[in-house]
Structure 1
Amino acid sequence: MYAKFFERSFLYAFGITLLCSIVGTLLGGLPYLTIIGALVISLILGMMFQINQPLVQKSKVGIGFISNKFLRLGIILLGFKLNLIDLAHAGVKTILFAMFIVSGVIFLTYNIARKFGVSKRLAILTASGTGICGAAAVMGISPQIKVSKDEEEAKHNDEVLAVAIVAILGTVFTLIEIAIKPLLHMSPTQFGVMAGGSLHEIAHAIATGGAGGSVSLSAAIITKLSRVLLLAPAALVIGIWYQKQEQVTDGAKGKLPIPWFMAGFLLASVIGTFIPMPASVLNALVKLAYIVLGMAMAALGMSVNFKAFISSGKNAVLAALSSSVILLIFAIVVSKSFF
């Protein structure tokens, strides 16, 4: 009986989330929507489906499955986007710059958020999205934060809120950076490094880097992907740290979380880099990654609690805004000094 119910619920959820993801991908390719990105648009479309609550209830079990399992599959497939040789050619200083940004911004955003009274879970998710790579980082770090069944809905709300925060701030800072470009007197490479180093989503870095020409765009993508590469080690470190924090709070000893799907992410990047395959196949795998991640984002949107979403977000926004301003200033100084 349960198997039939799950099968029906999964089919409903699969159809709805696939529709949201495909429409999100199409809309995300439009000129004025590229800076928002397909993943965030899919999330918004999923949230809009909450108007039809009977349909959402029928899909509830399937929604939970897709937001969990499809998320991991999408992150693994996203590894094909990482070309390790290109990253190696970018040089040690680009990797060091990315490492400093990721560790520094996560530490800074988390601590500011906690000072503002933001919950530990929302603080670390927002910090991860700000420091690493936006929505994909929030979704990649989230499985490392283990909660009881009673807390799962609250965790979903925190995931959606963290994604919304980094998406909105990333879009705002994209517009700011394009607007102040004439005032910065940077070379195309410097402007691209600044964009890739300071902006949250890959879509934001591409939109901003593209405003400086092809050289700027390449520098923005390489710098941004250097941060994306750090998603796997960051997930491991944050998982261990969060587990120890929880042990201090409740005294219960649990297994240290190892993000095995991140090993798949790194393996995919190794395969995409060193095993010869047509560019069309690689591009198809990356497109599939965004479709699957879009489905996971839509599933999250369908399960968000709007009251909790609105009530707990203000201080997290202020924390992420503060660290984003500091990050932009730091990225400008480093770009002009070392690139």
Structure 2
Amino acid sequence: MLVLLKSSRFYLAVGLTLVCSLLGSFLAGFPYLQVIGALVLALVLGMVLQVYQPVINRARTGIGFISNKFLRLGIILLGFKLNLVDLAQAGVKTILLAICVVSGTLFLTYNLARKLGVEQNLALLAASGTGICGAAAVMGISPQLPVSVEQEEQKREDEVLAVAIVAILGTVFTLIELGLKPLLHMTPQQFGVVTGGSLHEIAHAVAAGSAGGPVSLDTAIITKLSRVLLLAPAALLIGIWYQRKNHVGFTAGQSHLPIPWFMGGFILASIVGTFLPLGATILAALVKLAYLFLGMAMAALGMSVNFRVILQRGGKAFLAAGISSCILLAFVIVVSKWFF
């Protein structure tokens, strides 16, 4: 690692991914791109940079490091966005809804994808992104799915494909929910519950929730963050299930728990951000830093994808996630009408 940090190839990779991340954040400030989100834009920019293949090849080693380590650092810092007191004040109903949405969508999307013939890893990543919190969930769950060295390239393709699926579906369903808003006759709180409970990325929930006013936006964010909070336990449970099902991670006749330590950092960051007097300015800066690192990781991922394979393998996973997204939206609309 020390040799890598001193390498010019590493700094080239840092420069390329940093530019993509910053440009993605800048572009996400425009009205029509805001719904897509900075992380997905950084991924797309990384994919565009593949036209300069000789440069990408020079930075290849550093790109792999960034897509792995910077990802974990970004997710840890994202914990500062979670205010546990606000989540607790949202009430038992919001937390129960989040548990139902995450567990139900994971189960439904995964099983639909498998029935359609989608490979196990891709099915799990698409289900995680659909059920929890989009790109961050895909990248947070992926380290819990160990593969052989020969399968590493396919795993990166699965990650990009799953991110693309939730980005496209999240954008489509954001527009659908904005179109349905006048027809649903909901209170601002109910509409916030719908957007936060059904949309894929935080950016999607913010874009749609803001259409209902300040109360709707606040409710959307809290409902969405209650799903984000479940990323850590979901990663642990999925890791345990995956390793036992596939008989990986066993030593001396015993299995070791696939504890996602960086998720522990995510929870610790949320505790620190909630209970220590850091101040709104510092917390906002830490969250921006989180998205900077996550954007760099997404750009690095985009630089290493195989477009041809993704196009060949994406259809069935997209169909499964699309069907479950429709069912999720219908479920959350009913629940918001009855209980909120």
Show the counterpart of 2:213. 213
Q: Which runs of 4+ in 1 moved over 4 A?
A: 250-254
Q: TM-score, normalised by structure 1?
A: 0.97
Identical amino acids, percent of aligned pairs: 68
Identify if the C-alpha distance between structure 1 residues 246 and 328 changes in structure 2 by more than 3 Å, giving closer, same or farther. Answer: same
Query: Does residue 96 of the first structure (1) align with residue 116 of the second (2)?
Result: no
Post-superposition shift, 1:149? 1.1
Identify if the C-alpha distance between structure 1 residues 137 and 5 changes in structure 2 by more than 3 Å, giving closer, same or farther. Answer: closer
Show the counterpart of 1:335. 336
Show the counterpart of 1:310. 311
- 2:322 aligned partner, one-letter code: L
- Contact preservation (8 Å) 1:197, 1:224: yes
Number of residue pairs matched by the alignment: 337
Identify if the C-alpha distance between structure 1 residues 309 and 90 changes in structure 2 by more than 3 Å, giving closer, same or farther. Answer: same
Write out per-residue CA displacement over residues 151-202 of structure 1, whole angstroms, 9 at most, x where no aligned residue: 1110000000000000000000000000110100100000000100000000
Q: In 1, distance between residues paired with 2:93 and 2:306?
A: 43
Q: In 2, distance between residues paired with 1:222 and 1:73?
A: 23
Q: In 2, distance between residues paired with 1:254 and 1:293?
A: 31
Show the counterpart of 1:158. 158
Secondary structure of the corresponding residue to residue 32 of structure 2 = coil
Post-superposition shift, 1:3? 2.8
- Contact preservation (8 Å) 1:82, 1:225: yes
* TM-align CA RMSD: 1.5
- 255-264 or 38-47: bigger deviation: 255-264
- 2:180 aligned partner, one-letter code: I
Show the counterpart of 1:36. 36
Q: TM-score, normalised by structure 2?
A: 0.97
Query: Does residue 288 of the first structure (1) align with residue 283 of the second (2)?
Result: no
Post-superposition shift, 1:6? 6.6
Show the counterpart of 2:82. 82
Write out per-residue CA displacement over residues 126-152 of structure 1, whole angstroms, 9 at most, x where no aligned residue: 000000000000011011111111111
Name stretches of at least 5 consecutive residues in structure 2 with no aligned partner. Answer: none
Post-superposition shift, 1:256? 2.9
Identify if the C-alpha distance between structure 1 residues 17 and 180 changes in structure 2 by more than 3 Å, giving closer, same or farther. Answer: same
- Contact preservation (8 Å) 2:194, 2:332: yes
- 1:75 aligned partner, one-letter code: I
Secondary structure of the corresponding residue to residue 326 of structure 1 = helix
- Contact preservation (8 Å) 1:99, 1:227: yes
- 1:318 aligned partner, one-letter code: L
Query: Does residue 274 of the first structure (1) align with residue 278 of the second (2)?
Result: no
Post-superposition shift, 1:255? 3.4
Name stretches of at least 5 consecutive residues in structure 1 with no aligned partner. Answer: none
Post-superposition shift, 1:245? 1.4
Q: In 1, distance between residues paired with 2:11 and 2:243?
A: 35
